[in-house]
A and B are shown apart, each in its own frame.
Chain A
Amino acid sequence: MKLKAPERVTWTQSGFCPGCGHGIAFRLIAEVMEELGLSDKLLLTVDVACCSLAIECVKYDTIMCAHGRGVATAIGAKKVRPENPVCAYLGDGAAYSIGMAETIHTGLRNDNVVVITVNNSLYGMTGGQMAPTTLPGQKTTSSKYGKDPERCGMPFNIVDAYQGFKIGYLARGALCDVANINKAKSYIKKAFEKHMNGDGLCYVELLSACPTNLNMQPVKAMQRIKEEMVPYFPLGEFQDNTKEKKEEE
């Protein structure tokens, strides 16, 4: 068994914190791209926030978008380059807070893009404030006594939000141990395969750890995903639809 991370992510060192899940997520994307032979073609759009640190450490054609508009930019890129795989890489703050309109309308229209959202249950880059995905009772820098679900609402769950729409693929993985990381890779691979077949929106959410802002050791932050986040964000594949192609006249 030979294992080596693809050169496209290892060519320089990343600026992510120790134990951050973004590094694992980018390795999964790079490995999937290498396996599918799409490395040269991938167009990546990254959002402002921690994901934007990737712009200098991954070797793909990358656009850094306005905050929350990663999905909208990806749709634009796909419209002008329909033969290329297009992937939007966002955090949960971008996808479910400032970019909520884009997330919902993409599902409504079922646009043919891959969206990978990394959910760490808080705002990472700005200093660990409360996000729409923050768990009830979780202490953050802007909810010092724990999040009150009566006042701030329950954690936003994308599976419930997309329930009424018929999108190409919807799955949620967790970057919390070896088995789940391998499973998350299979979800990402399936999303890109379906995307290249033109099946519509392929959405993968990855639960990730943020040791810096949770003030935890990296190992504990990973255990927290399994113990505390998974009850609110169940894992698995939720939607898998194929689009019937219109016959060209």
Chain B
Amino acid sequence: MEFKETVYTDTDRCKGCGLCINFCPKQAITQSEHANAKGYNYVEVDDEKCIRCGACYRVCPDYVFEIR
């Protein structure tokens, strides 16, 4: 499916709490093996599975996600 928007992640902000992974309806988000500058394993979005619903944006306490 084609979407106009893309989900961008600001990995430096991520604290690896895993809320977005739990609330994603399509299981499109996974925790990366790599850590960011703060030492947290940041999250990655699978563009193929993502339906741009914005659930991750709404539950994220650290404003990692941006849909544009």
Contact = CB atoms under 8 A, between A and B. Distances in A.
Interface of A: 1-5, 9-10, 13-14, 16-24, 27, 177-178, 181-182, 211, 217-219, 222
B34 interface: no
Nearest to B23: A178
Nearest to B54: A3
Given A1-B5, A4-B67, A24 B17 contact: no
Interface in B6-44: 12-13, 15-19, 22-23, 40
B23 A27 contact: no
Nearest to A24: B61
Given A1-B67, A10-B63, 12 more contacts: A3-B68, A10-B13, A13-B62, A16-B62, A18-B61, A21-B61, A23-B60, A27-B61, A182-B58, A211-B17, A219-B19, A222-B19
B61 A9 contact: no
A23 B22 contact: no
B15 A181 contact: no
Sort chain B's interface into a size bin.
20 to 34
B20 to A, nearest CB: 10
Contacts of A219: 18-19, 22
B67 A3 contact: yes
A18 B17 CA distance: 5
B46 interface: no
Contact of A3 (B12, B15, B57, B62): B57
Nearest to A181: B58
B58 A178 contact: yes
B66 A4 contact: yes
A1 B52 contact: yes
B50 interface: no
Contacts of A211: 17
Contacts of B65: 3
